[in-house]
Amino acid sequence: MSFDDRTATLTLAYSTYLGGSRGDQGDGIAVDARGNVYVTGTTNSADFPLAHPLATNSALRGSAKSFVSKLSFDDRTAPNPVLTLAYSTYLGGGGLDRGLGIAVDTGGNAYVTGFTTSPDFPTVHPLPAPSNTLRGFQNAFVSKLSFNDRTPTLTLAYSTYLGGSGFIDEGRGIAVDFRGNAYLTGTTNSTDFPLAHPLTTNRVLQGFDDAFVSKLSFDNRTATLTLAYSTYLGGSSFDAGDGIAVDAGGNAYVTGGTQSADFLLVHRLPTRKNALQGQGAFVAKIRMLRFRDRDAAGDR
């Protein structure tokens, strides 16, 4: 059956405020297979609407806080469908915290990234030292939130800092694969940003700041969080990762901005679209080659 857009009508299934009496901003959104919406951002409101919050984050602490909210819409109650907060919580410590990206897995677990200046940011099963504490002025964070509908209880499956001793480490985009591995991108100016199996061309910070791409894996049996890989991505100027996606094969696709004329290019677009003209966007596909794959690919 064809669709005739001349007779189509655009409507709002729902639309709502989400916030308190101070400044609030949503920065990241995701949706699960059932149409539930997961939102993250930042709030200054002591009266931000909460529902089944994290036990450690049931009140506003410090300055602005990141928040994570899950909204559920029941359209079976028509003609008066109901929008509710399945859960809503602050996420942060005594400093400045901001949620910038969020993803959701097939089990309805939310994965959040952003940045924090809080030395008491809630950590659960964090990455090994030194990534289990705040190192520089501002570190990225990665938190996985799980909600038990029967209890109902919201908990942190894991939560960790990710960064070095520089001034800025900031998670901006996050994705999750069907196995629950989290893929993160953002920006860093830390020369000691945690690396694992980095790109051979990006083993060190090259410019004032570089984009980074990190894959985090959590072993439920041992409750251990590890970096499957982590790398800088950039050239000799300013680079930042802003968005990331992952395919069924675990390949990561990253986009952001660069001012680096020497940003690494591989199989680039045709002439006139393959050179930097001012500040440019970049798109990169990153894959992890196993030994058997490297042999087949000629170890490229």
Instruction: Kindly report, residue by residue over 133-192, the tens digit of the pLDDT.
Output: 999 999 999 999 999 999 999 999 999 999 999 999 999 999 999 999 999 999 999 999
Share of the chain above pLDDT 90, in %: 83
pLDDT for residue 3 is more than 70: no
Buried b (16+ CB within 10 A) or exposed e, 97-135: bbbbbbbbbeebbbbbbbbbbbeebbbebbbeeebeebb
Q: How confident is the model at residue 78, as a pLDDT?
A: 67
Instruction: Kindly report, residue by residue over 81-102, the tens digit of the pLDDT.
Output: 899 999 999 999 999 999 999 9
Confidence of residue 6 (pLDDT cuts 50, 70, 90): confident
- Taking only Cα atoms into account, the Rg of the chain, rounded to an integer number of angstroms, comes to 20
Tell me the residue length of the chain: 300
Alpha-carbon span 245 to 256, nearest angstrom: 12
Q: How confident is the model at residue 299, as a pLDDT?
A: 39
Alpha-carbon span 183 to 250, nearest angstrom: 9
Q: How confident is the model at residue 275, as a pLDDT?
A: 72
Q: How confident is the model at residue 4, as a pLDDT?
A: 58
Confidence of residue 273 (pLDDT cuts 50, 70, 90): low
Beta pairing partners, 286: 252
Two structure tokens written together for 294: 């490297």
pLDDT for residue 296 is more than 50: no
Q: How far is CA 52 from CA 68, 110, 134, in A?
A: 11, 15, 27
Alpha-carbon span 65 to 266, nearest angstrom: 40
pLDDT for residue 114 is more than 70: yes
Note whether 85 and 51 are within 8 A (CB).
Answer: yes
Provide the 3-class DSSP secondary structure of residue 285: strand
Note whether 188 and 241 are within 8 A (CB).
Answer: no
Q: How confident is the model at residue 60, as a pLDDT?
A: 95
pTM of the model: 0.93
Instruction: Kindly report, residue by residue over 22-62, the tens digit of the pLDDT.
Output: 999 999 999 999 999 999 999 999 999 999 999 999 999 88
Neighbours of 299 (CB within 10 A): 9
Q: Is the dihedral of CA 34, 225, 212, 233 positive or negative?
A: negative
Q: How confident is the model at residue 58, as a pLDDT?
A: 95
Peptide bond into 152 cis (omega under 30): yes
Q: How confident is the model at residue 186, as a pLDDT?
A: 98
Domain positions in the chain are 24-267+278-296
pLDDT for residue 295 is more than 70: no
Alpha-carbon span 21 to 29, nearest angstrom: 22
Two structure tokens written together for 183: 């893929």
Q: What are phi and psi of 57, to 5 degrees?
A: -135, 50
Averaged pLDDT score across all residues of the chain: 92
Alpha-carbon span 87 to 53, nearest angstrom: 7
